[in-house]
Amino acid sequence: MAFAELFSGIAGRLFGPAAPPDADQALVADAIEAIVDAVDPRIRAERRYASKLEAGVRRTIEHMRAIGQRLPPPVDLSPASWQSEALVRCCFARPDDVRELLGRSRELYRFFAANPGCDEAHALLGMRREERTVLATALVGDALRQDVQQVTVSFDRRRLIAPAADALGCRREVGAAILRRMAALALQGMIGKERRVKDLEERKGILATRLRMLHLRRDGVQRALEEEAEDPAAEIAQLERALQATVDEFIAEKASLKTLEGIIDGVRRIFEAPQKVLGLETLEMRLSGTGVRVEVGSREAATDLRLQELFIGDDLRGVIAFVRCARQDMPPPDDAIRRAARTLI
């Protein structure tokens, strides 16, 4: 089975209809193979690689299932729904902003082109949430005051991903993308370890050079430097300890990098503690029509929002919402919005 299809099949069983308990063993086995293919196929040279990875993969599957149960239901994303859908109205300043996003989405255009019989697509809307503290006019009690500290909430970097013909297909592709991302985190960990080994090697060289210079000074070869430090013995001892610690760390890091066991440990670190790198947080807030946070109990008109924010690793975090996009709402391919978007993507 192709790599992408294998991840998609795993995600389909994670977020699809309930399966019998004995199906989990096959799911775990397939997930292990997909992860190994994504990280480093040489892992298979370790005879017991599957059993070493099994506990972590099971834990990740349980974690992803828990997240799957909390994924929000889809909402209509269209210029017309801007009035009726609170989420759409709060995340887009104008109905035309919705139309602009649809016209920017290459994924949606490709999906509708490949599926001429589909009148709508289910997709995941991802956005970055940004909060800023500003001073503005606000109603405090019964008085209108100037320069009141307020928090504004905005959403940018909007993108539609994983379009599919139905909600289940979209969830399956999102699940596959999450699994691929977690495998990529394990791979990045190994790349980071390589960089760490290189940094330690450079530090080891710098410390060794400095130590040689101090020994020369102590032996009187560089007497001109004695004004800088009359007795370098203490500094020599300190450098020797630092050099030994660096050498020990360098040897340990390099050894773990070279061995299959070290590579497997890197994968296990990610998948045995999935909650550290993957999570879905619920955000509840009240926003005014201008995107200002409104305190509970305030008489100011506001919309109550319940948002889901997904994070994967340290670098990827965003508010997500499953949406339905109608073919009829897509701007024509030669629309001015789409032409302008080509310069922005």
Which range has the worst mean pLDDT, 14-23, 235-244, 278-287, 313-322? 14-23
In whole angstroms, give the CA distance from residue 249 to residue 328. 61
**In this structure, are residues 124 and 310 in contact, taking their beta carbons and an 8 Å threshold?**
no
pLDDT at 304 over 50: yes
Please tell me whether residue 300 adopts helix, strand or coil conformation. Answer: coil
Does residue 250 or residue 304 have the better pLDDT?
304
In whole angstroms, give the CA distance from residue 264 to residue 52. 8
Report pLDDT for 222: 47
pLDDT at 63 over 80: yes
Report pLDDT for 214: 64
Report pLDDT for 237: 66
pLDDT at 171 over 70: yes
Report pLDDT for 297: 73
How far is residue 160 CA from its own chain's centroid? Answer: 16
How confident is the prediction for the chain on average, in pLDDT? 79
Domain locations in the chain as residue ranges: 3-71, 75-179+274-342, 187-271
Report pLDDT for 220: 57
Mean pLDDT within 226-241: 59
pLDDT at 236 over 80: no
Report pLDDT for 238: 67
Residue partners of 283: CB distance under 8 A and separation at least 6: 129, 305, 306, 307, 308, 309, 319
Report pLDDT for 248: 58
pLDDT per position as a tens digit, 211-221 = 666 666 665 54
Backbone phi and psi for residue 232, each to the nearest 5 degrees, phi listed first: -80, 5
Which range has the worst mean pLDDT, 37-51, 55-69, 257-271? 257-271
User: Would you place residue 40 in the very low, low, confident or very high pLDDT band (cuts 50, 70, 90)?
Assistant: confident
- Residue 309's beta-bridge partner residues? 281, 319
pLDDT at 184 over 50: yes
How far is residue 174 CA from its own chain's centroid? Answer: 12
Structure tokens that stand for 337 in this block:
């919005």
pLDDT at 341 over 60: no
Report pLDDT for 203: 66
Report pLDDT for 3: 46
In whole angstroms, give the CA distance from residue 76 to residue 83. 11
Percent of the chain residues topping a pLDDT of 70: 67
Residue (of 62, 67, 49) closest to 266 by Cα position: 49
- Count of residues making up the chain: 345
In whole angstroms, give the CA distance from residue 60 to residue 32. 11
pLDDT per position as a tens digit, 253-266 = 555 555 677 788 88
pLDDT per position as a tens digit, 124-170 = 999 999 999 887 666 566 666 767 788 889 999 999 999 999 998 89
